[in-house]
Structure 1
């Protein structure tokens, strides 16, 4: 998942990976604690100094593999608060394709996002001004990925991104124009992306969905995705 949404820059803090992207998205501006530091308190302090020196809040992404195992509790005692509980779901791509009918509308799939793709995604899910959008574009295109879009008579109706990482494909940036929702655009976008990914050698898909997004979870579960993990962020107040 780290490779599917790459930060602009990474550095290490005593075995932890600190991701830095000028504040655009928590995922690309948080610490991934993949190893046990030699001194926990010192490592947390160094993280805080690093992020605050760049004008960013210190943030940790914490899942079952976070190290050390007591990091979540240590951050809570230090005043870090829980943000954005998220579940991780996976599925064999072949199973998802069997559950999604071929789209009845054209879905364009390309290797780069064009301006109309970016316009819709930013309108639905973007945060910040022109500078933030430019950084987001750099994150989006920082690794191999596919970009899909479908249209209706009003223009681009839905978009989606699929990160390609070995035999895995990660679903990101699923966005539907508000007035075009509940018309099959999301499933059409997903089908188009996964169909193309199979041609490129992908076998399994993953996605991340916030725990409180019941509608999206219901859709993905109907398509064969099952929950395999979860994570949340700890952000300093």
Structure 2
């Protein structure tokens, strides 16, 4: 169906960093510290000189005042990179499962639609406001960076309302015949009322209308409730990743 490396590429294309720099087979992504994926290295190919490549990465993040960070999946190269980084003091963070499914299968398992969901090809003010209120970190500058990241590739944005206003949102990226589910967020007082399920259905219907046949999502490994929900609607465990992060930002060079 798809390899771990191809899925890593799909995920990168779905969440583009503001700045991407190639370092001997690696992609160094920087976005002012907004979201870990957009501020981490995607280690696509093994560099000729591993130690020199790591040093260069550390310099690039140091220039931005950011902690050096690597995204480690089964496709990370070289294969020993995770251990090398651990030996250099990099800490493990964000253990995450990647689950995949056929769009048709998920739609068949989801309950019938119970009400309207607005779906657009850009995040409107209400969508952005709710997502940032639930998941955002930082002020107006960080929010502007996040909006740039969201706009880095084609996607659909779903918003469900209730009597109190925006209740739930979600995003699905469109990468060929694949669709990635992101940014699922529900207002605190509107949870456990089926809003997220309605948003997921609307997103996948929209993705299917645009040619998507398969879908993926990421779920934090220790989120048992979310894992159970996604398994129930057809998402199967396929891959996983974590981050290796230097424990403290480096000071800028003089």
Structure 2 length normalisation: TM-score? 0.92
Question: 1:102 & 1:34 partners in 2: Cα distance?
Answer: 41
2:32 paired residue among 15, 18, 22: 22
1:41 paired residue among 22, 46, 51: 51
Task: Say whether residues 1:137 and 2:147 are aligned partners.
Answer: yes
Deviating 4+ runs (over 6 angstroms): none
In structure 1, the partner of 2:170 is: 160
Question: 2:101 & 2:143 partners in 1: Cα distance?
Answer: 31
- Alignment root-mean-square deviation, CA: 0.6
Cα deviation code 1:9-29 (max 9, x no counterpart): 101111100011111001001
Give the Å deviation of 1:102. 2.6
In structure 2, the partner of 1:181 is: 191
In structure 2, the partner of 1:228 is: 238
Classify the secondary structure of the residue corresponding to 2:14.
coil
How many residue pairs end up in the alignment?
237
- Which segments of 5 or more consecutive residues in structure 1 lack a partner in the other structure? none
In structure 2, the partner of 1:214 is: 224
Question: 1:29 & 1:216 partners in 2: Cα distance?
Answer: 25
Question: 2:15 & 2:96 partners in 1: Cα distance?
Answer: 15
Give the Å deviation of 1:209. 0.7
Cα deviation code 1:59-82 (max 9, x no counterpart): 000010100000000000000000
- Which segments of 5 or more consecutive residues in structure 2 lack a partner in the other structure? 1-10, 248-254
Task: Say whether residues 1:32 and 2:46 are aligned partners.
Answer: no
Question: 2:41 & 2:91 partners in 1: Cα distance?
Answer: 15
Task: Say whether residues 1:57 and 2:61 are aligned partners.
Answer: no
In structure 2, the partner of 1:105 is: 115
Cα deviation code 1:178-223 (max 9, x no counterpart): 1100110011000001011111100000001110111111111111
Task: Say whether residues 1:72 and 2:86 are aligned partners.
Answer: no
Classify the secondary structure of the residue corresponding to 1:7.
coil
Classify the secondary structure of the residue corresponding to 1:2.
helix
Cα deviation code 1:100-132 (max 9, x no counterpart): 123211111000110000010000000111100
Task: Say whether residues 1:172 and 2:182 are aligned partners.
Answer: yes
Question: 1:133 & 1:103 partners in 2: Cα distance?
Answer: 31
Cα deviation code 1:129-172 (max 9, x no counterpart): 11000000010111000000000000000000000000000000
Structure 1 length normalisation: TM-score? 0.99
Task: Say whether residues 1:4 and 2:14 are aligned partners.
Answer: yes
Classify the secondary structure of the residue corresponding to 1:109.
strand
Question: 2:97 & 2:16 partners in 1: Cα distance?
Answer: 19
